[in-house]
Amino acid sequence: MPLLAVQTAIALLINTLIAAFLTAIGVGGGDFWINLIFSYCIGFSIFVSCIAVIRLARSFPAKLVGLGLSVVLGAAVGVALGLTFTGYGLEQWASPHAFQAMLMGLMFGVGVSYLFYSRDRLGKLETELQERRLRQALAEKERVDAQLRMLQAQIEPHFLFNTLANLSVLVRSDPVRAERMLTSLIAYLRATLQRTRDVESTLGDEIELLRRYLDIIGLRLGTRLKSVFDAPEALLARPFPLLLLQPLVENAITHGIEPKVGGGVVRIAAAADNGRLRLTVSDTGAGLHEGSSGSGFGLDNVRGRLGALYGEAAVLDVRENSEGGVTATIEVPA
């Protein structure tokens, strides 16, 4: 319901109550309808003038002076209208009835003016508070976005340098595989650049990039690496941060599969449960090194991005499997 309609309804109610009160105390000869006419004339004259002042005056002093004048002028105009409508005529200005009506009008006007001023002031304070909160939220969003861009930018060159180092070795030992790796690397970088330009990413995008990434690693490790993906089709469209799982996969290969003579399996799985999205990267590799606490560049990067995106609502858990290898689990709000 529009604010003006609510204010008008309140003014009608107040004016009616004032007319009833004036009648009860004997003003106007105890005639309710006479008092109602005077009450409406005075009340709505003040109401209209106060509304005009609130909407037209810009500064605080102008509003304060305008409200004071609107009370006096509105009451005078209201009494004149009341005398006219009731048939008393303007010559009755000095009558006791006109004086009583003027007095009640001034009292009503002061109350209404204070109400309008308070509502206007409260509205401005609420608007200023909302604008301040919005500015703070935008500043925080810009800070988080900058932090996320920095963290994501750390992942790409880290992977790129490792791949180029491997490529330089293959160029001398196996040019055919080196050419295939270079082709796969170009396809991966093209897909990554396209994804990072998008405002939003999905779990499906992340899975696709991980497949390309593991294709590149597979050219170097050959049969020593096997990858398995277990992500239900229904979850692929879920929003998910780009390149968030790659550091976990890279850790699984660097610290799990490569040190193990026979290699192993890297498994990427996704599941949704109780409003949470759970992603796991597990391997059957060498396991955690002695003294390792689940820290390092990749894990620190993932923790930083999770904290910036989800705060305490996200969880990263890294633990050694009982059968060997390591499982890293991420849980975020679904």
Segment 215-258, tens digit of pLDDT: 888 888 888 999 999 999 999 999 888 788 988 998 899 889 98
Position of tokens 């006007």? 109
pLDDT of residue 291: 45
Domains of the chain: 3-132 (no CATH), 174-222+229-333 (3.30.565.10)
pLDDT of residue 166: 78
Longest dimension (CA), the chain: 116
User: What are the residues facing 327 on neighbouring strands?
Assistant: 282, 319
H or E segment to which residue 10 belongs: helix 3-24
Higher pLDDT: 285 or 139? It is: 285
Q: Which residues contact residue 42 at a Cβ distance below 8 angstroms, ignoring those fewer than 6 apart?
A: 74, 75, 78, 79, 82, 101, 102, 104, 105, 108, 109
- Out of 139-143, 146-150, 310-314, which region has the weakest mean confidence (pLDDT)? 146-150
pLDDT of residue 290: 52
Closest CA to 189 of 219, 163, 218: 163
Segment 271-301, tens digit of pLDDT: 998 889 999 999 998 887 654 544 566 788 7
Residue 266 pLDDT greater than 90, yes or no: yes
- 294 by Cβ neighbours in 10 Å (0-12 / 13-18 / 19+) ranks as middle
Segment 181-218, tens digit of pLDDT: 888 888 887 777 666 555 578 899 889 889 988 988 88
Residue 144 pLDDT greater than 70, yes or no: no
Segment 40-72, tens digit of pLDDT: 777 777 777 777 766 766 666 676 667 667 777
- Cα 66 from Cα 43, distance rounded (Å): 17
pLDDT of residue 229: 95
Question: What's the whole-number average pLDDT of the chain?
Answer: 77
Mean pLDDT computed over 108-128: 67
